[in-house]
């Protein structure tokens, strides 16, 4: 009947709309189910500690100590003082303390002071070799490791360690210091020293600059 046909035409779009909405709801629920997952976590933590670099030295046979403040131990050489062509010898032993990491040490040019620094200080020359044995003239041979100077040449007090020289400091053990790195100084007033230098006095302070590896 015409009325029934009109009613069906009006009902069908509504049913189609409901079917589409229902389908959309079903698809929406399906997407949420796909994205869901179980969660879990893992963590780790590291304790960070810094190393220790610490050195000590024995100067001219004295006990090992932290000689970190200038001028360090004062060494006075026995006798009436320097005369032309005379040399004196000074041993310096350096090592790392227990638990210290390894490193290197550089010998810098001395700082000359005192009333006669300009005259007497300028006249002196010196050489340095590495040794932990006897520090005297016998330490200065062709086979020695020269830190300052050479087998046949001394340097002025204005100069420090030779280029290319590396002085290593071994690491300390948990309960013991590291191996000793020794330096033997030969300090000389040359044969040609001027007569006007008699009775003068000056000081020389050497700095060993140590750096961890």
Domain that holds residue 128: 55-212
Does 36 lie in the same domain as 71? no
Does 33 lie in the same domain as 98? no
As a whole number of angstroms, the distance between CA 163 and CA 158 comes to: 14
Q: Is 50 a member of any domain?
A: no
Provide the pLDDT for residue 25.
45
pLDDT above 70: residue 16:
no
For the segment 67-92, the average pLDDT, to the nearest whole number, is 83
Provide the pLDDT for residue 68.
86
Domain count of the chain? 2
pLDDT, tens digit, 9 for 90 and up, residues 103-116: 999 999 999 988 89
Q: Is 86 a member of any domain?
A: yes
Q: Closest Cα to residue 54, out of 91, 93, 92, 98? A: 98
Q: Closest Cα to residue 202, out of 72, 84, 110, 88? A: 110
pLDDT, tens digit, 9 for 90 and up, residues 25-55: 444 445 555 567 889 999 999 989 899 999 9
Structure tokens given for 96:
């790392």
Q: Is 133 a member of any domain?
A: yes
Task: List Cβ<8 Å contacts ≥24 apart for 79-88.
Answer: 82/124, 82/189, 83/189, 84/189, 84/190, 84/191, 84/192, 84/193, 85/188, 85/189, 85/190, 85/191, 86/188, 86/189, 87/137, 87/186, 87/187, 87/188, 87/189, 88/186, 88/187
Provide the pLDDT for residue 185.
96
Provide the pLDDT for residue 27.
45
Q: Is 89 a member of any domain?
A: yes
Q: Residues 89, 136: contact at Cβ < 8 Å? A: yes
Does 159 lie in the same domain as 62? yes
Q: Is 46 a member of any domain?
A: no
pLDDT above 70: residue 12:
no
């Amino acid at each position: 009947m015409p009325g029934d046909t009109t009613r069906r035409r009006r009902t069908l779009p509504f049913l189609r709309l409901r079917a589409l909405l229902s389908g959309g709801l079903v698809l929406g629920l399906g997407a949420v189910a796909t994205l869901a997952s179980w969660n879990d976590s893992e963590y780790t933590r590291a304790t960070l500690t810094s190393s220790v670099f610490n050195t000590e030295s024995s100067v001219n046979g004295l006990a090992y100590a932290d000689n970190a403040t200038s001028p360090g131990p004062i060494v006075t050489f026995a006798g009436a003082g320097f005369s032309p062509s005379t040399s004196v010898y000074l041993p310096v032993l350096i090592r790392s303390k227990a638990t210290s990491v390894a490193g290197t040490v550089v010998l810098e040019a001395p700082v000359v002071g005192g009333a006669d620094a300009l005259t007497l200080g300028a006249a002196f020359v010196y050489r340095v070799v590495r040794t932990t044995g006897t520090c005297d003239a016998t330490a200065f041979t062709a086979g020695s490791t020269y830190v300052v100077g050479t087998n046949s040449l001394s340097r002025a007090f204005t100069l420090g360690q030779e280029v290319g020289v590396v002085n290593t400091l071994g690491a300390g053990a948990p309960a013991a210091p590291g191996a000793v790195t020794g330096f033997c100084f030969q300090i000389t007033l040359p044969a040609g020293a001027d007569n006007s230098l008699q009775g003068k006095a000056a000081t020389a302070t050497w700095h060993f600059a140590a750096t961890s590896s």
